[in-house]
Amino acid sequence: MTAGVEMAHIPYRGGAPMMTDLIGGQVQVAFDVLTGALSHIKSGDIRALAMAGATRYEGLPDVPTIGETMPLFVANSWCGIGVPRGTPPEIIVRLNREVDAGLKDPTVRAKLTALATTPMFFTPDEFGAYIGAEIEKWRKVVRAANIKVQ
């Protein structure tokens, strides 16, 4: 939408079948998480045109971000850890501290980097705000594109 490019959406049941079709030439372009595409990029089976995240991936420093061409474009794939509503605040603070410590460990960082995963560090309140901003951003896209549940 941002670029004004019309593309046919082909729903796949996961990244592997999509990647098979991309490598085989049945589709010309695909958006995938880097963890699923990295080995194919490194082998030369596919070519990375751009990264959708806010920054370039250190393992592919010559691949620009989409935002370098279309400012403000960011589409991160992310995951986080949640707890049930009502969990005591001291448990949440400790869990956040311990997870952050683990993610900052050089051995863990090296393994995550090899998997094309870059940790983001948030306080619990910052993570809640991030989730809220992501929901609002994608809500606007769904509305503008008139996407309906099938």
Domain ranges for the chain, please list them.
1-77, 79-150
Q: Is residue 116 over pLDDT 90?
A: no
pLDDT at site 83: 95
Domain 1-77 has CATH 3.40.190.10: yes
DSSP string spanning 82-108?
---TT--HHHHHHHHHHHHHHHHSHHH
Q: What is the mean pLDDT of the chain?
A: 92
Model confidence pLDDT, tens digit, residues 139-150: 998 998 888 887
Model confidence pLDDT, tens digit, residues 29-72: 999 989 889 999 999 999 999 999 888 988 899 999 999 999 88
- Give the C-alpha separation, 88 to 64, whole Å: 43
Residue 56, number of CB atoms within 10 A of its CB: 16
Q: How many helices (H) and strands (E) does the chain have?
A: 5, 0
Question: Taking the CA of residue 24 as centre, how many other CA atoms within 13 Å lie in the half-sphere pointing to its CB?
Answer: 7
pLDDT at site 111: 92
